[in-house]
Structure 1
Amino acid sequence: MEWLLGIDIGTTAIKVAAYTLDGNKEIVLSTKNIVKSPTYGYAEQDMNEIWNKTINLLRILTKKICAESIIGVGLSGQSGGLWLVDNSLNPIENGVTWLDLRGAEIINKLSKLQINEIYNICGWKIFPGAGPILLKWFDIYKPEILKKARYLLRCKDWVRLKLTDVIASDITDMIGFTNPDTASYSRRIFELLGLDDYYQLLPPLKNPWELAGEITREAAKQTGLKEGTPVVAGAYDVCQSALGAGVTTHGQLFAVIGTAGIFAAASNIALRDPEMKVSINPHCFPGMYILNSQSMLATPNIDWFIKEFYKDLKKKFKGEKIYRVCDVLIESIEAGSGFIIYHPYLQGEMSPFMNPNAKAMFFGLSLWHNRNNLLRAVYEGIGYS
């Protein structure tokens, strides 16, 4: 039997999956992807740790299926952030994820004209964890890091680099740096932010379906994959989710409840929103776009609540079991959570309003409420948001 291999480098989890050629997912393996916060508002990930965790998952997978039967590898992953490598193609420091808030002060100093022009070019209202904003922050506060940098990547591009020794990104993933109308980089964005000197850090762009490289001898030794196995460029995980959900024609809608909460539609027009609440990505195939509105955090609100309020149950029910327990607990509470409202703004908010300083909170607490009421309110708050 022949297999297709998918690798997803998400914000909170890394997954590998084996698919049959008719699209059936037969094997899925995953591990946590840890977000580190060395300073308030920072959200970083160790790039070498990500690679090592990917290696471990692939080693397990290649013990379950024959590496010789894997005929192709594709990637998806979180977008945004800043993932820098030096001339030796090694990480300079931790990758900065899209959740990072340090760029808020940069946005506050931009004029409305700058923000509007950037949106009209790239289709994204810039947010603190956007690549161009983080690049500006490093330019001001850590220019010595940028002096060491050779390429600016996305997270999945780093893993593909380790698999193939090829530097590349794709047209769906370099949001903030590209114009979706032309599917190419925009030098004007660099001019608007005073970043002209760093335009050279951008990697070559490919279409998601294009061959990006092959598994190298070294990567084969590390992962158990076969040397020479083709690896395609891949795409931003939201666009991949749309494709996986069958959202391929104009007007189809879908939602993603993951690290972020996303409501989106496929469109044959790269339509700009005058209020800048909707962002634009090229889809995974020509002539289509994904229009999306994204709340900053969704399921991490649940993880935080479990960690802080259900320590007893988390010790008893390991892994995914704790979420099934939570499903039972919230079903014991009527809709409305006893009139409690939860705002899920643990890391600020992106849409429908942009406020990096927004905070999470519970409204309407009474003496008779218990933690199960609060848990249901968290679930409902994510849904409302």
Structure 2
Amino acid sequence: MKATIGIDLGTSAVKVVAVGLDGSLLAEVSRPYPTHTPLPGWVEQSPDDWWTAVCQALREVRATVAEADLVGVGLSGQLNGVVLLDDAGQLLGDAIIWLDTRATAEAEKLVNGFGDLMRERAATELNAITVLAKLAWLAVNDPERLGRARSALLVKDYILWRLTDVRQTDPSDASATGMMDVYTLDWIEELCAAAGFDPKLLPPIGRSTAVAGYVTPRASAMTGLPSGVPVVPGAGDVAALAVGCGVAEAGVLGVTLGTAGHVVLARDAEEAFRIRPGMWRVTHADPDQALWLGLVMSGGLSLSWLHRLVRSADSPLTFDAMVACANQVPPGANGLSFIPFLEGAATPYAMPSARGAFTGLSSSTSIGDMTQAVMEGVAFNVRQCVELFTEYGGSIKEVRIAEGGARVDRWCQILADVLQRPVVRLEHLDTSSLGAALMAQTAVTGVSLRSLTADLAKGGRRFDPDALNLDAYERAYRRYLVGAEGEVNRVRDPRNH
């Protein structure tokens, strides 16, 4: 069987899949890597750790599908991480990844000086997590390191380079950096200059589904991939998960609950890039479309955080047992609310320094109440994203959910009840790696992404909203909004700093 490989560099692990040209999933492997937080607000990872994990996962997948004819490789990766290389191709320290918020002051300075330009040409409301802000921080705080750099690569593009010796990115990854013109698909040199670096550091921008290079003999020896296999740059994880969810036609909303929560809706490119405060606009892997993105900074992370909090050596409560504690808790979590801003607020507030909270705690609050409240809080933040989309004219006829949090049946049902729409849990949950493999298939077969993704929802489990829960969730949502807006106002008030 002919197959393509999809590689997704996530926040905590790489996921690699092999997908037959008939759409069948042949193999999937995940390998973790560590995250480093050397100072408050700093979040870094080693690109060497990424590459080691990629090589291990690829060799295992290759062994599993030894009889398959591998005809292409596609890439996906976390947005807004930056890797610096010197003129010999050596790493200049660890990568600064998307969770890092050290560049808040630099982002504010760029917005004050170039906010209109960024909104009109880059379709962005710049903040501290963007690559542009990170490079501006390096120019001010580590100019020696930036001065030695000859390449600044995005996360997945570092793997592209290791596989092919080609330095290139794609429009979706580039559009999230805050410095790509979304109409010409070129870097905005004026913004690079304002941030204090040479735009020649940045890689060329090529199509997501066009072959960028071929697996080198050296990479073949390390990964087990056949030498000469074509590799496409693929897309940043948002555009890749949109492909993997089948968000390639109007009306299909994709919701993923990985470390972060993503809410994506495809729009005509010209319509999508009009100024829409409160959300991101990201280029789609399909060049005729773009994506509206709502971001929940702590999506699946919120529930895994709660599990870390409540388990102990003396009481090794499993994740599944914790989730089961919520099964008897009524909608509204007995008056408990959770604000899911553990890593800051994104949509609709764009407030990286906001923080999470429980409100309504009492001596009778149980683990079940807290678990239910966490799932509700994330679902309410997703609802805020959906309400923003519909306010701006988006039409939603179908909701599809994927990634790790979607494995929790109760969470899927809560989302259906909160959104008051049927939710389909996709059969293949790792949508970014799947999307990467499908982009490679478009490159090698010429079949459009819309055709390849048309049947992705078939075989998924459907969760219908329960009308009996509507009133309880409406009341809980209003309580949530009071808490969320109270936290945002607290951060905005300079007397609290």
Give the alignment's TM-score, normalised by structure 2. 0.72
Aligned to 2:290: 289
Aligned to 1:301: 302
Unaligned runs of 5+ in 2: 382-497
CA distance in 2, matches of 1:208, 1:238: 13
Structure 1 residues 243-285: Cα deviation after superposition (integer angstroms, max 9, x where no partner): 1222212443222222222222111134346452122222112
Contact 2:247 2:266 in 1 (8 A): yes
The letter of the residue matching 1:309 is V
Label 1:315 to 1:33 Cα distance change in 2 as closer, same or farther (>3 A). farther
Contact 2:26 2:65 in 1 (8 A): no
Aligned to 2:14: 14
CA distance in 2, matches of 1:314, 1:100: 33
| Pairing partner for 1:181 from 163, 180, 183 | 183
Label 1:311 to 1:160 Cα distance change in 2 as closer, same or farther (>3 A). farther
Aligned to 1:49: 49
Structure 1 residues 332-372: Cα deviation after superposition (integer angstroms, max 9, x where no partner): 32221121111111111122012221111110001111222
Unaligned runs of 5+ in 1: none
May I ask how many residue pairs the two structures share in their alignment? 378
CA distance in 1, matches of 2:38, 2:191: 30
Contact 2:3 2:68 in 1 (8 A): no
Q: Is 1:148–2:148 an aligned residue pair?
A: yes
Q: Is 1:364–2:366 an aligned residue pair?
A: no
Aligned to 2:232: 232
Aligned counterparts, 1:1-385, within 5 A: 1-66=1-66, 69-110=69-110, 112=112, 114-174=114-174, 175=176, 176-191=178-193, 193-195=194-196, 197-270=197-270, 271-272=272-273, 274=275, 276-312=277-313, 315=316, 317=318, 322=319, 324-385=320-381
CA distance in 1, matches of 2:314, 2:295: 31
The letter of the residue matching 2:278 is K
Structure 1 residues 299-357: Cα deviation after superposition (integer angstroms, max 9, x where no partner): 1122222112123599575xxxx3x3343222232221121111111111122012221
Label 1:130 to 1:245 Cα distance change in 2 as closer, same or farther (>3 A). same
Which SS does the other structure have where 1:338 is aligned? helix
Which SS does the other structure have where 2:281 is aligned? strand
Label 1:79 to 1:43 Cα distance change in 2 as closer, same or farther (>3 A). same
The letter of the residue matching 1:366 is S
The letter of the residue matching 1:109 is K
Contact 1:295 1:352 in 2 (8 A): no
- Which range moves more in the overlay, 107-116 or 293-302? 107-116
CA distance in 2, matches of 1:6, 1:156: 11
Is the helix fraction higher in 1 or 2? 2
The letter of the residue matching 1:188 is E
CA distance in 1, matches of 2:287, 2:278: 24
The letter of the residue matching 1:22 is D
Aligned to 2:483: none
CA distance in 2, matches of 1:365, 1:146: 48
Contact 2:179 2:191 in 1 (8 A): yes
CA distance in 2, matches of 1:314, 1:172: 45
Structure 1 residues 47-99: Cα deviation after superposition (integer angstroms, max 9, x where no partner): 10111011111111121112762111111111112221111222211111111
Between 1 and 2, higher relative CO (CA 8 Å, sep ≥ 6) is seen in 2
- Which range moves more in the overlay, 326-335 or 154-163? 326-335
Contact 2:323 2:368 in 1 (8 A): no
Which SS does the other structure have where 1:166 is aligned? coil
Which SS does the other structure have where 1:75 is aligned? strand
CA distance in 2, matches of 1:212, 1:331: 49
Which SS does the other structure have where 2:331 is aligned? coil
CA distance in 2, matches of 1:326, 1:109: 44
CA distance in 1, matches of 2:181, 2:315: 45
- Which range moves more in the overlay, 306-315 or 341-350? 306-315
The letter of the residue matching 1:269 is A
TM superposition shift of 1:236? 1.0
Structure 1 residues 199-234: Cα deviation after superposition (integer angstroms, max 9, x where no partner): 110111110011111111111111111111111111
Label 1:352 to 1:313 Cα distance change in 2 as closer, same or farther (>3 A). farther
The letter of the residue matching 2:50 is I
